[in-house]
Chains A and B, each alone.
Chain A
Amino acid sequence: MIRLVDSRFGIRPHSESTNVAESKIRIENISYAYDGKPALRNVTLDVPANAITVFFGPAGGGKTTLLRLINRLNDLLEGTQMSGRILLDGQDIYIPDTDVTSLRRRVGMVFALPLPLPGTVRENVLYGLKLAGLRDRNHLDGILLRSLNQAALWDEVKDRLDDPARALSGGQQQRLCIARSLALEPEILLLDEPTSGLDPISTGKVEASLFELKQNYTIVIVPHSVQQAARLADYAAFFLMGELIEHQPGRDIFTNPRNQRTEDYVTGRFG
């Protein structure tokens, strides 16, 4: 990846951003482009801990891109340009020498399409821990139970732990993917339209587990509809064509948006 750090967005003294301490993730003047095509324009945003923040807006707004920047998954792509900083607990995650794999253990990610890895339900949940070198069977069993419970999946799969993960239904697979991220005990959970392929009942289960999880985790989610955004949001950020249009705590953004374009979107006048 080619990374262009614009000097205008260079290191600022920490004292200037007073709320760094409360915000888990601080996104600072992020601009991003794929092959010269801008995807994010100068986005600045604070994501508070132990709450659900939703990134919503029409397709192509840069929500997914921003999500993938927070755990540096876009490092895998070639021909991209980035400027600005992303701070995790006040620490710039893009400075050289950052341990990217341990960053990704701290920042879990769930994708739009559930993608079970080859192997069983158990192997899927424990994949990240196995890579991290964890071997102790009792310890692993404990984590398996905890993370499947957190993802509201344990009761459905407790007798099928050694079945192929592919044999689960779509909704179960998505919760399995959530459990797989939770097994690593991340501090932050990023979810990119995690319920877009799910039926309403599975969606309800996933949303219910997210409400549980926010006690202990910082959650950022790209919802698959405005309704879901409104249901989940403790904080909401509206993105349009790579720009952050509006960012508000609570659900005010859906009932009383400050920006005309936000209002047009949430009232369904475009989208």
Chain B
Amino acid sequence: MNRYLVQRLGFVLLGLTALVVVIPILLVVGTIVVRGITAISWEFLTAMPRDGMKAGGIFPAIVGTLLLTLGTALAAIPVGVGGAIYLSEYARDAWLTRAIRLAIINLAGIPSVVYGLFGLGLFVLFLQFGTSILAGSLTLAIMTLPIIISAAEEALRAVPTEFRTVSASLGGTRWQGIRNVVLPQALPGIITGVILGLLRAAGETAPILFTVAAFFLPRLPQSPFDQTMALPYHLYVISTQVPGMPLKIQYGTALVLLVLVLSMNVIATMIRSYFRRRRQW
């Protein structure tokens, strides 16, 4: 075979693999959009569920997912970014630091249902938060932490050492250098990591299963100690636990979850490119 033929063949094969990746995504999104779009109405988005969830809307589930994501962000961002700053800027390369890094990498590989059980044990039972938004958010936050820490640490390390040296040479303390020079440059990367983590949290079912999610609760939560419905769990419930559920509502719920997650993604990308543009050097 001459090398031009090999080149051609390689091109075609690699193109096919790319296509194989795209096809399932298009099929999944396409099916959900086509079958779910008819369910979408003002009532579906803003009303409480009725008739054993077979009619009405999914408003409490939407609000619940937004609240859980917000709670996760509040808990995970400060801890995650703070931890990343410590690991990247302050920690010496000792065995303890390496052990912490290894632990973080391994945390990312733990199945989400294990986080759910951990949250049940620690937050719901031991700390007596009950099944509540607080317990659910904290559980999701712990699951999200490794993603945020790894991405943020990566982004901080990508800032050349020389910037820290210059800041120090101008009489800056280590923190002043981090605050004024390193963090602004690492921000787009940090935001990306935060968003990836939060998106995963927003779509997870297992961690909220035992810690916060309500099967059927046709009212909005009043405090962080209330249970709430949430989209992923609601989808699981109406797909498997309720006989005679109209297919339209199932696909409609899936579509709402999809759009919610994707629009968060888009907003995140916009924030990121805003900070990239503002970078003035």
Which A residues form the contact surface with B (CB < 8 A)? Answer: 71, 73, 76, 78, 101-102, 104-105, 108-109, 111, 113, 115-120, 127-128, 131-132, 164-166, 177, 180-181, 184
Contact = CB atoms under 8 A, between A and B. Distances in A.
Interface centre among B166, B171, B172 (most CB of A within 10 A): B171
B280 interface: yes
B164 A76 contact: yes
B169 to A, nearest CB: 4
Interface residue tally on B, bucketed by range: 20 to 34
Nearest to B161: A76
B181 A117 contact: yes
A115 B165 CA distance: 10
Contacts of A120: 280
Contacts of B166: 111, 115, 117, 177
B274 to A, nearest CB: 15
Contact of A118 (B170, B173, B280): B280
A156 to B, nearest CB: 18
B253 to A, nearest CB: 45
B280 to A, nearest CB: 4
Interface of B: 92-93, 162-173, 176, 180-181, 184-185, 279-281
A117 to B, nearest CB: 5
Contact of B185 (A111, A118, A131, A177): A118
A165 B181 CA distance: 14
A105 B169 CA distance: 8
B162 A71 contact: no
A177 B165 CA distance: 13
B171 A131 contact: yes
Contacts of A164: 280-281
A128 B165 contact: no
Given A117-B167, A127-B170, 19 more contacts: A76-B164, A101-B172, A102-B171, A104-B169, A105-B171, A108-B169, A115-B163, A117-B181, A117-B281, A118-B180, A118-B184, A127-B180, A128-B170, A131-B167, A131-B170, A131-B172, A131-B176, A166-B280, A184-B170
A203 to B, nearest CB: 21
Nearest to B174: A76
